[in-house]
Amino acid sequence: MGIETDNKEIISSIRENAKLLLSENQVDVIIGYSEGTVPLSSTPIIIRKEEDVDKLIWNNLCYINLARYLAPLMPQLCDSEGNSLKIGIVAKGCVGRAVNLLAVEKQIDLDNIKMIGFNCNGIVNRSKIDLEIGEKEILDVSISGDDIIVKGHNWEKKFPYDQYINELCKVCQIKSPSATDANCIGECQELESIHDEFSDIAEFESKSADEKWAYIKDALQVCTLCYSCRQACPMCYCNLCFVDQNMPTWFGKTTQFTDIFTFHLIRAQHLAGRCVACGACSSVCPVGIDLNIITRKLEKIAKERFDYTSGLNAETIPPMMDFKMEDEEEFMLEED
């Protein structure tokens, strides 16, 4: 069983389910993935007709979190009066999490959503591959067996899949959407809670403050503040983001490290307990910044402090929308 055969099975199940939903008129539109127009990428596609289901694909470059198009709702997914159509959405585990969380936050109505679930087999880390190829032009990317084969003019390079998988996917435990049969077709599961040791960031956390700062500074200072990470994030749906507010202008628009750092810190704060760990932010970064370490930390805070994992169901209220009298307050200053 290689990745290639896995993908083929997933594609056929997605197409079959999509066809079923459209033919039975359970949904009006289906949003899914299609072949990308540039190498190492994929493109979202909206289909309305049964005969178009063959355009739907799945491979390990489908890094976009499709829940991004649900809130705020894309005009293509509305009828002429601006009401939501019945939407089918091709959902890997993290898309399912985002859909659940958007429903908790009252951004979408789950009655309008039908997920087409499947067992995701992980996303490839594009920037890692990009980095190794360098400036050579990529002409073709294919997956054969367990390898990703990248071809260009007179060269060909093999990348073993298990070494180039996204860090988040390595530790991911929610491969298929956590949903009930009522709003999911295909693979889905009902998860109560998950167990996670967060051993992957323990090493980073044990470093000294100066070492951590040096690492963060090194990683983030190439950021150009293009806000791609915000645009790709399914949970960043604010009408007016804090970086765009200009009365008063809180946020500096320079690329000095202070401004870059402030952006990432406040974005992390806003996503605490809400991040669904899809890794879309890192995948879309044009300069290849690895934000996964922040993502993992946010998951850790939510899990350890509030015993919460985002997007497991559409009922539990996220920690930052709630409070308890008996919350931990070990960080508060006390008299000696």
Partner 1 sequence: MTETVLEEKKIDEKWEPKIIAFLCNWCSYAGADLAGVSRIQYPPNIRIVRVPCSGRVNPYFIIKSLVDGWDGVVVSGCHPGDCHYISGNLVARRRFAILKELLEFFGIEPGRVNFMWASAAEGERFAVLIRKVTKIVKELGPNTKFQKEWC
| Footprint of partner 1 (CB under 8 A) | 205, 209-216, 242, 250, 252, 256, 258-259, 261-262, 265-266, 268-269, 272-273, 297, 301, 305, 319-320, 322-325, 327-329, 331-336
* Nearest-approach distance from CB 202 to partner 1, in angstroms: 12
Shortest CA distance to 301 belongs to which of 326, 286, 319? 319
**Least spacing, CB of residue 332 vs partner 1, in Å:** 5
Please give the Cα distance from 3 to 135 (Å, whole number).
27
Output 149 or 268, the one with its CB closest to partner 1.
Answer: 268
- Please give the Cα distance from 136 to 130 (Å, whole number): 9
Helix axes 209-220, 257-271, angle to 10 degrees: 100
Residue found by looking up tokens 């050579």 in the block: 136
Q: In angstroms, give the least distance from the CB of 170 to partner 1.
A: 20
Q: Smallest distance, Å, CB 225 to partner 1?
A: 14
- Beta carbon nearer to partner 1, 244 or 327: 327
DSSP letters spanning 65-131 = -GGGGTTTTPGGGB-TTSPBPPEEEEE-HHHHHHHHHHHHTTSS-GGGEEEEE------B-HHHHHH
Show Cβ contacts of residue 84 under 8 Å, excluding neighbours closer than 6 positions: 73, 77, 78, 108, 109, 112
CA dist., res. 179 & res. 191, Å (int): 8
137 vs 329, beta carbon nearer partner 1: 329
- Give the residue with the Cβ less far from partner 1, 78 or 268: 268
Would you tell me how many other CB atoms lie within 10 Å of the CB of residue 25?
8
Closest separation in Å from C-beta 108 to partner 1: 25
**156 versus 331: smaller Cβ distance to partner 1:** 331
Closest CA to 157 of 169, 178, 141: 141
CB of 165 to partner 1, least distance (A): 24
Nearer to partner 1, 104 or 150 (CB): 104
